[in-house]
Amino acid sequence: MKHSIAVVGAGSYGTCLAILLGRRGHDVRLWCRSDEMRRELDERRENSIYLPGHPLPPEVRPTAALDDAVSGARIVVGVTPSHAVRDVIGQAARHLAPDAVLVNASKGLEESTHLRMDQVYDEILPAEIAARATFLSGPTFAKEVALGLPSAIVIAGRDQDATGLAQEAFSSERFRVYSSDDVVGVQLGGALKNVIAICAGVCDGLGLGNNARAALITRGLAEIARIGARQGANPLTFAGLSGLGDLVLTCTGELSRNRRVGLELASGKKIADVIAQMRMVAEGVKTARAAHELAASLGVRAPLSDTAYGFLYQDQPVADVIRDLMTRALRDERD
């Protein structure tokens, strides 16, 4: 079925989703922050800054007016960085259709409050729209989605009808969408894996080997599951696409921005310089602080999040924090 869809955010991932949805035959409005970018997208029919070489289908109409993008849209896809969700989606809320279904594709925790995006939605959206919101997450690099390479992802929601509507709207022969009712677990997997990926980049950048990377990914998954369990997530979710799948991709893939941050830090660069050189947001940088503080508030051990916080925000040498990880008190693996 064809739908009117707004994609709010024209970074690499928002653009790739707009391309995907346009190819599915939906009427897509792609919101970008500036009229200058809107003109370029209109004239060149590609996002030369964030996703060059991938033309926008005719069904995709760029706009710089948020009300124009979301008014009357049956599905609204939020793809801003997590730190912008409260502001941008909060503004969009004034123009949403009463039956709109929101699909959150932002992966992160709100830095100042440590809230998941569903919790932010509960504060900024009308109650009936927040209750229908869905959450998209899984191992998908924007470039590969835009190329039409096979991908699988999961969409979670508490309203079965809304989740099914969004699942059908995104699904195609090259983009398989699974459904879930675990809103908490799907979001935490997508957010916290970015922190672990920064650590994985440091591990690779220091030349610590395949054994170390495998151990880091495995213990990272255990850490994510501990935090998730404390917040009520289903532990099985973390063995799925939004958990293990996204973690492996982000910790090993050459296109991973968060892994790239870790590689740069391992080479001796300061985080401020690394961020200044990046055009796109690496969500794990801000999420590392939120994850460190959230885990502490929950009383959950989170050594990798603590490690990332140490070298990102306390200027601890990366070699020292890796040593500290390896020499912590011994314990049972399932503890």
27, burial (CB in 10 Å: exposed 0-12, middle 13-18, buried 19+): middle
Cα distance between residue 41 and residue 58, in whole Å: 12
User: How many CB atoms are closer than 10 A to CB 87?
Assistant: 11
Q: How far apart are alpha carbons 211 and 27 in whole angstroms?
A: 48
* Cα dist from 234 to 218, 225, 293, 304, whole Å: 18, 9, 22, 21
3-state SS class at 157: strand
CA 110 to the chain's CA centroid:
12
Q: Note if 107 is an active site residue.
A: no
Q: Exposed (0-12), middle (13-18) or buried (19+): which is 160, by Cβ within 10 Å?
A: exposed
Active-site pick, 107, 143, 193, 269: 193
Task: List residues with catalytic annotation.
Answer: 193
